């Protein structure tokens, strides 16, 4: 998978809360997906992925992940009801909606990735952000020499 220089820089960022801000068709979705897959290379890591609505998860986010995984011959299983992707040999990608921040509870992940946060009202975005980062409590063993699933440009 080819990434541009800015995409590669973003996917290799060591910042606690990196942001990829770009225009239409600039590759924001691929950056999110690559970061999710790279996060799964940490042993035992579960990863959260968030979109504004369950409809957007079902119509855009999940099909995008399925296409990318299939194109790269990465085996997976999707639990459509629970919106969880199980990546063979790795762990789970837990997908949730931001439209009701009060329901972002009851699980822990290593890291989270949010798509389209800017489409929510300021108050709802703030509430969703706080709920999402509160889920980032999973303790895992960090491996500085781990190999990325997908990297480089």
DSSP secondary structure letter of residue 61: I
pLDDT digits (tens, 9 = 90+) for 99-127: 999 999 999 999 999 999 999 999 999 99
pLDDT, position 14 = 87
The answer to whether residue 20 is domain-embedded is no
Q: Report the chain's C-alpha Rg in angstroms.
A: 15
How many structural domains comprise the chain? 1
pLDDT, position 152 = 45
Residue 57 near residue 121, CB atoms below 8 Å: no
The answer to whether residue 69 is domain-embedded is yes
pLDDT, position 22 = 87
93: containing domain: 5-10+25-135
The answer to whether residue 68 is domain-embedded is yes
The answer to whether residue 16 is domain-embedded is no
Return the structure tokens found at 85: 């992707």
Residue 108 near residue 46, CB atoms below 8 Å: yes
The answer to whether residue 126 is domain-embedded is yes
The domain that holds 36 is classified in CATH as 3.40.50.300
pLDDT, position 119 = 92
**pTM of the predicted model, to two decimals?**
0.88
The answer to whether residue 148 is domain-embedded is no
Residue partners of 67: CB distance under 8 A and separation at least 6: none
Which element (helix H / strand E) includes 70?
helix 62-71
How many Cβ atoms are within 10 Å of 96's Cβ, its own excluded? 27
The answer to whether residue 150 is domain-embedded is no
Question: What are the mean pLDDT values of the chain's consecutive 10-residue runs (153 residues total)?
Answer: 87 89 87 92 94 94 93 94 94 95 94 94 96 94 58 44
The answer to whether residue 147 is domain-embedded is no
């Amino acid at each position: 998978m080819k990434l541009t220089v800015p995409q590669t820089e973003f996917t290799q960022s060591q910042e606690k809360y990196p942001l990829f801000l770009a225009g239409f068709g600039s590759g924001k979705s691929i950056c999110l997906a690559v970061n999710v897959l790279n996060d799964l290379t940490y042993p035992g890591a579960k990863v959260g992925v968030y979109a504004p609505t369950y409809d957007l998860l079902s119509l855009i986010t999940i099909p995008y992940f399925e296409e990318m995984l299939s194109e790269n011959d990465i085996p997976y299983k999707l639990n459509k009801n629970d919106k969880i992707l199980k990546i063979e040999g790795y762990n789970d990608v837990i997908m949730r909606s931001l439209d009701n921040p009060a329901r972002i509870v009851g699980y822990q992940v290593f890291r989270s990735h949010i798509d389209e946060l800017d489409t929510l009202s300021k108050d709802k975005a703030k509430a969703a952000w706080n709920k999402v980062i509160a889920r980032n409590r999973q303790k895992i063993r960090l491996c500085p020499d781990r190999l990325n699933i997908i990297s480089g440009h």
